Structure 1
Amino acid sequence: MLHTIEIPDFPAVAAGIIVFFLGAFLTRRVAVLKNYNIPEPVAGGLAAALITWAAYSLFDVEIAFDLSTRDELLVVFFVTIGLNARISDLVAGGRMLGILLAVTIAFIILQNCVGLLGTLAFDLPRPVSVLLGSASLIGGHGTAIAWGPTIEAATGFEASAEIGIASATLGLVCAALIGGPIAKYLIDRHQLEAKADGGPVVGLPYESDGLEAGAVNHISIMRSILAIYIAIIIGYVVDEAIASAGLKLPLFVSCLLVAIAISNTVPMLFPNLPWPARTRALAVISDYSLSVFLAMSLMSMQLWTLAGLGGPLIGVLILQVLGTSLFIVFLFFRLMDSNYTAAVLSSGFAGFTLGATPTAIANMSSVTKRYGPAPLAFIILPMVSAFFVDLANALIIRYFVAL
């Protein structure tokens, strides 16, 4: 008889922190994890997911986590990204932003074409192609859940919802595992180096584990938290206004845009006011929120739900991973100028085209911890992956569903 253990919100956060430290232990003890830039929360989260799978398989115990705080941590993380953003960087990166957007839209179409080939090869209804493509991979679990019932109603294919969720889950795992190795290959092959920058954005280097005089204190941490909370409060108001206008966006997008706005106006209006942008204190909060969010996301995966969905799902996903890797190495990296920032963006591109924006940021963070900062990458990728792509993906999905 199956017994379910419900882990409430507060203990679930504590478990997420423990899982992060498990991942940190693994990446320091298992050389291949650190050498290939596998993020600590990914290593720990996957290990925890395997443990819960073993509990389910061996003892008929299902462990379920309340993830309410996890979603709040995602908002906090994107606000830290916005507070670090400089308009000058966005202007300088305007060309790269445009290229990234164009390449991403082209890749959405390519991803759905691969899914369409999968439906033809395995004799599945054609609209299912998006559940093996951009609806579940670039779109993630939310988009897959939204489109699953629609496709099931249109085709009568009862496993639509399950395939979409399973594809999103496996895609997330693959995204977290291939981004770091791709960046390592590109950086080592082309002998790329980071340029000196004015301060940390996210991804404090491994060498920062020791104490550094004046690096972080309680005042700098509290100043950073205050700026984050002000941005979130205003972001809530902006999000309500956008929703009332008929446009529904994720809350973190509104908060990200507000954070960018206030971080580029407040320091100019009040030049003597200490501002947390690109400080180590803000980087600590950024790393914390991202690490715990990703650890909780991965540790809560119910891997046993994937056991009966082999065949078509695994076959198409292998094609998607291979196609993504080749696309990045031979096309994306070159289009993004073949420099260090392009290599970091490559790890992020793998992260969000197969998984989700937080996975992309975690991949890039793990790379910059080892090789050095790439602040522009952390600004332009979320602008595309968390804002523009959702709109383009929705239109493209509708086209493929209508085929």
Structure 2
Amino acid sequence: MVHTISGASVVVIAVVVWFLGSFITQRVPFLRRYSIPVAVTGGLICSLVVMAVYYVFGITVEFDTELRDLLLLIFFSTIGLSAKLGLLKEGGKALAILVAAAAVLLILQNSTGVLLAMAFGAHPGYGLFGGSVSLAGGHGTAIAWGQVAEEAGLVAAAEVGIAFATFGLIAGGMIGGPLAERLIDKNRIENGHGGEDPAARSRPVEPQKKNHLPPLSASLGTLLALALCVEAGDLVNQFLFSRGVTLPGFLTAMMVGIVIANLSEPLGFRLDPVAREQAAEISLQLFLAISLMSMQLWVLTDAVGQILLVLFAQMTLIALFGAWIVFRLMGRDYDAAVIVSGFAGLGMGATPVGIANMNAVTAKYGPSPKAFLVIPLVGAFFLDIVNALVIKTFLGMPFMQVP
């Protein structure tokens, strides 16, 4: 028996799941100490409950993910609307270094995935889905490349990609906070830019209050801009697809947002940053909650051992890479620790997870302007482009040919 939940019910459950995660995080020191995003906590608990319902009552609970896909487009549109080209110059050396580090990580991820796939006796092409296609790329990239791989002869490549992207979402949300906490403790970084003292870490985190709410005109203007990003991005994607160019939908929506952001001031209108940030936070948290609560964990039981082994190897890789390479390159300070938490999210679960990790860390220790400048820029401008080049390079290797 299949029970499908759709429409407003998905929103209601997602919000309840978020509050559940917040409630549990406030009362479980481990989750609070290691800055696990509340949406990850609540969403994972919901997916475990859904799995129990399946095994006990034989009922398959499915969530309509159309809203989740729309939220992803909205979130990346907010990134585009905040990505003015002048910020690239402001990011400067740190941005260039982090892009180079991301390129190296993508190569290492795919090399690890390919070697493990070959060790399991599987086609090495599947290793790319246990690498940067699904982990750094996320669900959108996994689905897009999965369709291409299936057309080339890799059976169920899209399903494999979605499985890795889903578990990577969890892993990225779970290791980013602890990794930053470890770096802060080990290097005795006492606080951030006006953050609280480490002695207060065990206290519940109170939500930060906004000084003001945006006027109705600003909220409606932001809503209009986001709608234009989604609609125009879809038109651009259809145009490119008709000419044989395959890009994830969120990437074209973000590109439209970048265009709007950089034309807004010359055309004489201003997008309210508070309204944009609120839209980004809401879409991000609901996206994560719906993604995690809609996981059908029982479907992956046959391959869960191999999936977890690959994920453990990738988690170890990104933890070592973040601590030994990224943290040192970024200056071994508080900003560097926050950047590492975001970088772990980028590498294991795509940009939304990286932002959620940094939100969790900075809510406790204080803001990190540098981290919130370079991580979104890497995720928004460069990561998907570099990832596509790395993937195509691997696909061109002789051992990748499908018999």
Matching residue of 2:79: 81
Taking the aligned partners of 2:307 and 2:230, their CA distance within structure 1 comes to: 39
Give secondary structure in 2 for the equivalent of 1:372. Answer: coil
Taking the aligned partners of 2:64 and 2:81, their CA distance within structure 1 comes to: 29
Taking the aligned partners of 2:122 and 2:161, their CA distance within structure 1 comes to: 13
* One of 281, 289, 309 as aligned partner of 2:283: 289
Structure-2 change in CA distance of 1:140 and 1:80 (3 Å)? closer
1:142 Cα deviation after fit:
4.7
Match status 1:221 vs 2:219: yes
1:327 Cα deviation after fit:
1.0
Moved more, 65-74 or 163-172: 163-172
| C-alpha contact 1:93 1:380 (8 A) present in aligned 2 | no
| C-alpha contact 1:101 1:389 (8 A) present in aligned 2 | no
Match status 1:372 vs 2:367: yes
1:159 Cα deviation after fit:
7.3
Match status 1:344 vs 2:315: no
Structure-2 change in CA distance of 1:261 and 1:167 (3 Å)? closer
Structure-2 change in CA distance of 1:233 and 1:119 (3 Å)? closer
Match status 1:115 vs 2:105: no
Give secondary structure in 2 for the equivalent of 1:181. Answer: helix
Matching residue of 1:401: 400
1:48 Cα deviation after fit:
0.4
Structure-2 change in CA distance of 1:96 and 1:257 (3 Å)? farther
Taking the aligned partners of 2:242 and 2:93, their CA distance within structure 1 comes to: 32
1:253 Cα deviation after fit:
2.0
Taking the aligned partners of 2:85 and 2:129, their CA distance within structure 1 comes to: 37
1:163 Cα deviation after fit:
4.4
| C-alpha contact 2:342 2:353 (8 A) present in aligned 1 | yes
Matching residue of 2:183: 186
Name the aligned partner's letter for residue 183 of structure 2: L
Taking the aligned partners of 2:111 and 2:234, their CA distance within structure 1 comes to: 38
Structure-2 change in CA distance of 1:397 and 1:359 (3 Å)? farther
Matching residue of 2:201: none
How many residue pairs match? The answer is: 387
Residue ranges of structure 2 left out of the alignment (5+ in a row): 195-203
1:194 Cα deviation after fit:
4.4
Taking the aligned partners of 2:380 and 2:178, their CA distance within structure 1 comes to: 21
Structure-2 change in CA distance of 1:386 and 1:117 (3 Å)? closer
Residue ranges of structure 1 left out of the alignment (5+ in a row): 197-204
Structure-2 change in CA distance of 1:348 and 1:397 (3 Å)? farther
Matching residue of 2:272: 276
Name the aligned partner's letter for residue 372 of structure 1: P
Moved more, 96-105 or 33-42: 96-105
Taking the aligned partners of 1:145 and 1:378, their CA distance within structure 2 comes to: 22
Taking the aligned partners of 1:142 and 1:231, their CA distance within structure 2 comes to: 17
1:302 Cα deviation after fit:
0.6
Give secondary structure in 1 for the equivalent of 2:265. Answer: helix
Taking the aligned partners of 2:68 and 2:347, their CA distance within structure 1 comes to: 21
Taking the aligned partners of 1:249 and 1:97, their CA distance within structure 2 comes to: 24
Identity among equivalent positions (%) equals: 38
Taking the aligned partners of 2:223 and 2:148, their CA distance within structure 1 comes to: 41
* One of 161, 173, 177 as aligned partner of 2:174: 177
Taking the aligned partners of 1:296 and 1:229, their CA distance within structure 2 comes to: 21
Name the aligned partner's letter for residue 303 of structure 1: L
Q: Deviations for 1:138-174, whole angstroms, at most 9, x for unmatched residues?
A: 3334554566687789888x67665444333322221
| C-alpha contact 2:351 2:376 (8 A) present in aligned 1 | no
Give secondary structure in 1 for the equivalent of 2:314. Answer: helix
Taking the aligned partners of 2:149 and 2:247, their CA distance within structure 1 comes to: 23
Structure-2 change in CA distance of 1:214 and 1:149 (3 Å)? closer
Matching residue of 2:63: 65
Structure-2 change in CA distance of 1:206 and 1:286 (3 Å)? farther
